[in-house]
Copies of this chain bind each other. A is one copy, B any other.
Amino acid sequence: MKAWNAYAADCPTRFALDRITDKWTVLLLGLLADGPQRFNALLRQVSGLSQKVLSQTLKRLERDGLVHRKAFATVPVTVEYSITPLGAALSGSLKALIVWAESNIESVLTAQARYDAEKAATV
């Protein structure tokens, strides 16, 4: 049992943390946690996400073992993405981030307005 430490720059956990702290990762795992989805279905649900970045993100998630990719030999081909147990263990915490954002956005916006007003007053 090694002592992993995300505060060390060269620790592998740092790379992992870098991956899971990604806007698209959070949103995608949030969707996949509720059930398998197809490529274009994911693309449609996450507004602002390009096909290229979705492709990259899914590939990374698959490589990290957070998402499973299953291709069906239909014509045209059908691909289904699903969350793995490893990814499921993480999705709860990620969903909490979305919930926090949606619950506290008004406080954040208020804080920003106050901050900007103070800065403007100083200058």
Q: Are B90 and A100 in contact (CB under 8 A)?
A: yes
CB neighbours of A10 from chain B (8 A): 47
* Residue A93 is within 8 A (CB to CB) of chain B in the complex: yes
CB neighbours of A65 from chain B (8 A): 107-108, 110-112, 114-115
Known: A100-B90, A105-B16. A7 touches B21 (CB 8 A): no
Task: Mark out the residues of chain A between 25 and 82 whose CB falls within 8 Å of any chain B CB in the assembled complex.
Answer: 25-27, 45-48, 62-66
If over half of A's interface residues share one DSSP class (helix, strand or loop), that class is named, otherwise mixed; here it is helix
Known: A21-B21, A100-B89. A27 touches B47 (CB 8 A): no
Known: A16-B101, A21-B23, A104-B86. A8 touches B47 (CB 8 A): yes
